[in-house]
Structures are given as structure tokens and as C-alpha cells.
Structure 1
Amino acid sequence: MIIERAYAHRGSYDEGEWPWSVPCVRELLRDGLRFTAPVTFVVGENGSGKSTLVEALAEGFGLDPWGGSHEWRYAGHRAKSVLGAHVRFDAAPRGRRMLASWPARQGFFLRAETALDALGREGLDPDARSHGEGFLAAFRDKFLRPGLYVLDEPEAALSFSSCLELIGHIDRLARAGAQVICATHSPLLTALPGADIIEVGEHGMRRTTWQDLALVDHWRRYLADPGAYLRHVLE
């Protein structure tokens, strides 16, 4: 692992103003976030703050908020986040040298919305492959060395089989000494054995298991009886 704990300090803030109004952000300010495994999944409904949280972690590490590797710090078109500027880390033994020296840092931030643009900047031709293949190409060609890899909904462009391939890439990265933090809606990705799962919502942040995830329960129920859900949304 590279980092053991993330935290943020801000002297004063308005709890009614974004991002301080987001429960998981307030918990980060109050208690910090401890990492207990090489792979951490952050799960929650749209608007729960999971993307806000992982983007701030990426930016706190020095990764471009637009997406890309450590070599492209603030080279993109996305403004620096208010929260990311306040994020700090406690290093794991493997990450002490990396956090102490900017040239020693390794990592990548992959955002679903800007991935192809960022990958093009990294030398991967986005027009030469499909959206999903572009995502997987990043793992095959760029996600190779120990470092911090932050992913925001990487499953957005992937089929079922491609998600399974992605799980294999994430597992190999972790075994090679990297650390992965991934915001996701995917019951496939979160099933990775040994991964830590943090569910965010109105409660803030809490650790849970794959079996107890709300999204896993909903997918099970939907696949067993789609009509039980569709009757609430169809005329």
C-alpha cells in the first residue's frame, strides 16, 4: 500500500455549501479515511459524494483532476477542486519515499467522463479503439508500476466480460505493490476478494461487505423479477 490514511483540515466552512454539505466530506474533515487493503471500492448512489471524494484524493496526491498520470499535474481543462487542495495523507511504509518526493510519485486518475481525452494525452489513440477498449488499454499499457491508481466509475464503458478483465488488472496491480481506490456502481468489481468496501450516503462513510451492499441486493432482486421494479417507473 501507498497510503494508510487520508484526511483534510479546514478551519471553518459552511455546512450548507457544497462540498461541505456532503456527509462523506464532512466525515473526511472530522475523522479522516483509513485504508486497510490495497484495493478500496467507494460505493454510493448518484449524488452521495463518491466521485467528489475520489477526485479529491487523486488531486491531493498530485494527479490532474481532469484525469491522467502523475506526469500531467494540472495540465487538463478541469479546475482544481476546493476539497482536493486540503487533502493530506499518512504514508504506508511502501509509500513514504513516494509522498516525500514529487519526482518519486507514480499514479493515474481515470475519470469516466474525460478518460478518452486524458488517454489521448498519454499517447493512446482514442480514435483507434472503442470507448471500452480505450479504458482497458490504459490498464494494459499505463497501469504497470507501483503507485496510487484512482478510478471513477471505470465500468461505465465496459461490458460484462470487460469488467471481468478489469478485475484481473486491478488484482495484478495490487499484487505488484500498487494501491487502487475506485468509485463504482458495479457489483462485479466490488466482488474482488480481499477488497475493502466503503459505502457512502447520508450516513457519511461506513465499511461493509459485498453481500451487504444495497446495490448487490437490488441487482439480485431485479434479475429475479424485473417487473417488481419496472412497474414503479413504466406507465
Structure 2
Amino acid sequence: MKLSCDTQYIREISLKKDRIPSYQQFPFSLPVMKNFSELTFHPNVTYIIGENGMGKSTLLEGIAIALGFNPEGGTLNFNFSSFDSHSDLHDYLRLVKGVERAKDNFFFRAETFYNVASNIEELDSEPAFGAKIIDSFGGKSLHEQSHGESFFAAFTERFRGDGLYILDEPEAALSPLRQLSMLARINELVNKGSQFIISTHSPILMAYPDAKVIELTESGMTDSRLEDTGHYAIMKQFIEDRERLLVHLFRE
């Protein structure tokens, strides 16, 4: 059953502006922070999009850490650090949660998923009475698969439903066909009571029906439609009139 406004796991976030030391220092110097407004999430799927440098990944990271996730990703039980590079944004975010609590949780970061895979192997190499962690990812070492296969193993095997899933650029290693398959998987999980917050550049992934699309720009955050986003416009122009676009691009 899809979540409603009454049952969603996380409703909104706001910024504790009175505590910010300076808008000249990172991460508050990012465009999304300078013009931050209250962000309300869709009960099912919310996309956070924008050009590089707008602060999408930093914002997603702050939300995830504020919820108790490891900065490099994984479930709420993961507690490792390959390199401490995360900001302290989470200390300045105010989260409003719903009355329901997710039964499953995962923070997926494309750029650090290799580290999650390594930590799984380290933990599974230690003596334990229960099942190995990798069993919940399909049983095959994530390092013995391609990036795309290992990514998809997390989505298809590890995500169980009734969950809160925060995904940072999950399309990074996925072909267009796999991205379509991921859309189908998102729909399956939404119908099993899951909520997604996704940062992406992919117009394919942004196509989930009735989702909320929040576009980050230099002037702030705006609710948008897929067809009105810059990502969609550029892709549409490339597909419909590639030769003309390339002529202008190469001329410049």
C-alpha cells in the first residue's frame, strides 16, 4: 500500500538559520543553503535535482546523517569510515518525521558504495552466529560483480519494502535499460509502503508518476515538473535535433 501524508516516514526539513555561523563557509556557502526554504517531501517519491555544485549530494548527506545513517551509506547499522569528508550540515537541520517508522532503511551513495561493499566483506569475514550480511544482497560478493550489477543487487535484493530509501545518484552505473528496470523496482517498493528521496541527473529516473521534483538553482529551490527541468530539455533537444545541437556546441 502506498504511503499517504498521514503515514510517510519523513515529512519535511527546515534549516536552523539562527545557528548558522556564516554563509561564507561550507556548506552554507552552497546555493541551496543561501536560499534555503522549508522542504516538504512527497509520501512516496521525491527527487532533488540540479546542476553540479548546487548542493544536492551535500543536502542528501545531511538528511541521511540527521536520520542516523553512516555518511558513506548502508543501513542504520553500518558504522565505518574510510575518509571523513562529510560536512556538519546535519547539525543545522530540523527534521519532521511521520508517526510511522520504517521497517527497512538504506542510504545509497554511488560514490561510496565500493566502501560499503568492502565493509560488508570485512564484517562477513569475522566469526558470527547469524547469516552473512552479503546474503541479503543476493549472496554474491559485490566486488565480484560489475558496478551496475552490484548497484542493482542492492535495489532488488536488499531493499525489502516498508522502507525509507535515500539514494544519491543511483543511476551512475546503470544503463538506460537498467534505469527503466529501477523505475519498476521503485514502483514495487512504493506499493509495499516505501518512501524514496532521490538525487539524480537522469530524466528516466525522474519519470515516476506523481512524484515531487525539487530543482535546486542559484536562486533557491523550486517545485518543478519533469518536462520543465533543464535535464529533460537538454535530453529532448539532443534526441530530436542532435545535429543542430552539436553544430552549435562545436562552434562555441
Alignment-mate amino acid for residue 7 of structure 1: S
Paired position in structure 2 for 1:194: 210
Paired position in structure 1 for 2:91: 85
CA offset at residue 128 of structure 1?
A: 2.2
Structure 2 residues not aligned, in runs of 5+: 1-7, 121-133
Rounded to whole Å, the distance in 2 between the matches of 1:193 and 1:165 is 15
Rounded to whole Å, the distance in 1 between the matches of 2:213 and 2:233 is 15
Rounded to whole Å, the distance in 2 between the matches of 1:176 and 1:50 is 27
Matched, 1:139 2:155: yes
Alignment of 1:162-177 (within 5 A): 162-177=178-193
Structure 1 residues not aligned, in runs of 5+: 99-104
Paired position in structure 2 for 1:76: 81
* CA contact 2:104–2:163 (8 Å) conserved in 1: yes
Alignment of 1:71-150 (within 5 A): 71-73=77-79, 75-79=80-84, 80-95=86-101, 106-122=104-120, 123=134, 124=137, 125-150=141-166
Paired position in structure 1 for 2:11: 4
Paired position in structure 2 for 1:38: 44
Aligned with 1:47 (options 42, 48, 53): 53
SS at 1:197's partner residue?
strand
* CA contact 2:20–2:92 (8 Å) conserved in 1: no
Rounded to whole Å, the distance in 1 between the matches of 2:188 and 2:27 is 34
SS at 2:116's partner residue?
helix
Rounded to whole Å, the distance in 1 between the matches of 2:245 and 2:227 is 20
CA offset at residue 184 of structure 1?
A: 0.3
* CA contact 2:104–2:159 (8 Å) conserved in 1: no
Matched, 1:17 2:15: no
| CA spacing shift, 1:88–1:145, aligned 2, 3 Å | farther
Alignment-mate amino acid for residue 118 of structure 1: V
* CA contact 2:82–2:115 (8 Å) conserved in 1: no
Structure 1 length-normalised TM: 0.88
| CA spacing shift, 1:45–1:4, aligned 2, 3 Å | same
SS at 1:181's partner residue?
strand
Alignment-mate amino acid for residue 34 of structure 2: R
Rounded to whole Å, the distance in 2 between the matches of 1:120 and 1:145 is 25
* CA contact 2:35–2:219 (8 Å) conserved in 1: no
CA offset at residue 172 of structure 1?
A: 1.7
Alignment-mate amino acid for residue 5 of structure 1: E
SS at 1:150's partner residue?
strand
RMSD (Å) for aligned C-alpha atoms: 1.9
Structure 2 length-normalised TM: 0.82
Alignment-mate amino acid for residue 222 of structure 1: F
| CA spacing shift, 1:82–1:177, aligned 2, 3 Å | same
Alignment-mate amino acid for residue 8 of structure 1: L
Number of aligned pairs?
224
Rounded to whole Å, the distance in 2 between the matches of 1:231 and 1:17 is 40
SS at 1:109's partner residue?
strand
CA offset at residue 232 of structure 1?
A: 4.4
Identity of aligned residues (%): 34
Rounded to whole Å, the distance in 1 between the matches of 2:183 and 2:109 is 17
SS at 1:165's partner residue?
helix
* CA contact 2:117–2:143 (8 Å) conserved in 1: no
Aligned with 1:66 (options 62, 72, 94): 72
